[in-house]
Structure formats: C-alpha cells, structure tokens
Amino acid sequence: MNKTLKITLNILIFTLIAAFGYYMFHSMKSERIATLLSQENTELTFTSPYEKTNSFDIASEILCFDISNNSIYVALLDKISVFDLLGTPKYNFTIEAGLRDIFVENEIIYLLYPTKIVLYNPNGQKKEEWNACSKNSDYCALTTTKDYVFVTDAENKNIVQYNKQGQLVRFIKSPDGFTIPSYAFDIISINDTIYCSNSGRHKIESYTIDGEFIASFGKPGAQAGAFAGCCNPVYLAKSADGNILTSEKGNPRISCYERNGKFRTILFDSNMLGGGTTAYRMCVFGENIFIANGKTILIYGRDKACLVSTTENSCAGCPMREKCKK
C-alpha cells in the first residue's frame, strides 16, 4: 500500500470517528435539552391532585418496600423493618443481603434475590427457598396472582412463572424481545393479567397467566404520556381502581395510565418528588400513595383543596377519583 493511500484511509477513518462522536454528542445534548425543557414546562404548569399527609424516616437507605394488611414492609440492607401505616415501628427481622424486591401477599413475604426466592411468614420466620432455574439468572422483580408467582429475569430476558409450590411452569418471552438496561424490569398483576416494563423499548407489555402476549403500549419522548431516556419506565404499581402507575428516572415523575395504555395524567413531577435522576419506588394502599425517597417514606393523599375547587372532568386522571366520590 503506497503512502498516499495510507494517508487517505487514515483521513477517512478519522473523519468517520469524528462524525460519529459529533452525532453522539449532539444526540445526548438534544435529549438533555428536551428533558430540561420538559422539566421547566412541568414546573411552570404542573399541579398535582395529591398533597403530602405524612412521612417517616427509616434507619438506612430503603431498597424496596410493600404494603399488606395495614403494615409497611421495608427492605433495608440486611433486615426487614415493619411499620404500621402511620410509620410506628412494629418489629424487625434479619435477612441475607443482596435483596432485589419484596412482595407481601396474605400470610407470605416473598423476598427476591438474583438467583432465588425466599419465603417468610409475617413474623419473620423463614418458610421455604426456591432456587432460580439457571445459575446465570439475574432476577429483578416479583408479583403474584391467585395460583402463580411471576419473576422477571434480566440476564435471560424473560419472565419466569412458578406455581405456589415453587415449581417451574414456563418461561415467557416478549414477541419484540425484552431489552433491559439498568435492571429496569418491573412487573405487576391486575385481575390475573400480568404487566411488565420493557424499558429499553419504552413500553409496558401485558400477558395472560398462561403466558400469552396480549398487547403493549408506550412511546419514547420527554412529553407527558411518553417515556424518556434509555430505559423507562423503571417501576410499576397498580392503583386502587386498577389503573397502572409508572415511575421514571432521568426526569423523575409518576404518571397514571389506563390498562389499555391510554395516558391519564402526571401525578407527581420531579420537583414534588424531590428531584435527582433516580426513579422513585411507590405503593398504593387504600386512598394513599406511598413513595420511598432515600431513607424516608412519604405518604400522599388526595388534595382536599383540589376536591373542593375542581370539577368532575378535571379529576378524571386521578386513580383515586372513585374513592373521592364517597
């Protein structure tokens, strides 16, 4: 190869690298500007239908939490702390570190680890332990129905279905393929329908308890009703009237969707949640929404001033509107 050709190839390679770098920089800058504009517009126009009614602090950083039978089960590094709904401590029990998720149903506490599920009774006594189906499993989130337990697996990019005796039933694959950056792979159940986040594709997908795909919804974007960034939504929750709440990172916010994917409203914006870039975990219990923020549980109820001053149509996006009528 002669010297002129080498120089030409080097120039071409350098040009391609520079162009790619410029493209990446420009794309990231554009996304950042869009997010900032979204935050600015939200701060100027956003009014939440909720107000903070209470909060209480925990001894250390909250990993995850769940609510059942008027008790809040908070997972910390190496223990579960149980509180009543006002934040009064009830008891603690020690657990193995490395917990990914907690789910409480009736008289069973399910603790999810990357390669196993551990079951406890409400008094903190260990009942059973189910090993993952593969040593390469990397479990993220857990939910249950009447007869089954469903777990998301980020490594194998599927949903693992067990029966209540811990026996494997099936693996559930997305027809589009699950794309899961940053372990954003949450799952919930509503009336025997399974909903999970396919966060790399900015979607929420639904499945029957037999593993059949039903539908998906979601689109990328910084505007209300879309999912911004590389991997959103991060967390899901079900509202009191069976709608879906989503929690996003980047520009943290919590929004409400109908089960058919219709966007209803933003419930909490970044400013109200406390800022930062991390998604906030949430649970709905009765008329209240509980949100974890660092070492604090924040409790929000329907804004009474909003109830007095708004019309029926303006409350349409609120997942607690049926409760409010009573």
The span from the CA of 220 to the CA of 141, in Å, is 23
Between the CA of residue 88 and those of 62, 91, 326, what are the distances in Å? 16, 10, 28
Compute the distance between CA of residue 291 and CA of residue 77 in angstroms, rounded to an integer.
18
pLDDT in tens, 159-212: 999 999 999 999 999 999 999 998 999 999 999 999 999 999 999 999 999 999
pTM: 0.82
- The amino acid occupying position 139 is Y
Sign for the CA dihedral angle at 162, 163, 164, 168 comes to negative
Residue range 111-138: average pLDDT?
A: 95
Pick the closest to residue 86 from 322, 294, 286 (CA basis). Answer: 286
Q: What is the DSSP letter of 211?
A: S
Peptide bond into 233 cis (omega under 30): yes
> How is residue 227 annotated by DSSP?
B
Share of the chain above pLDDT 90, in %: 72
Indicate if the pLDDT at residue 310 is higher than 70. Answer: no
**Cβ atoms 271, 285 nearer than 8 A:** no
Which of 150, 203, 155 lies closest to 176, judged by CA? 203
46-56 pLDDT, tens digit each: 789 999 999 99
For residue 26, pLDDT over 70 is answered with: no
More confident residue, 80 or 6: 80
Cα(172)–Cα(137) distance, integer angstroms: 14
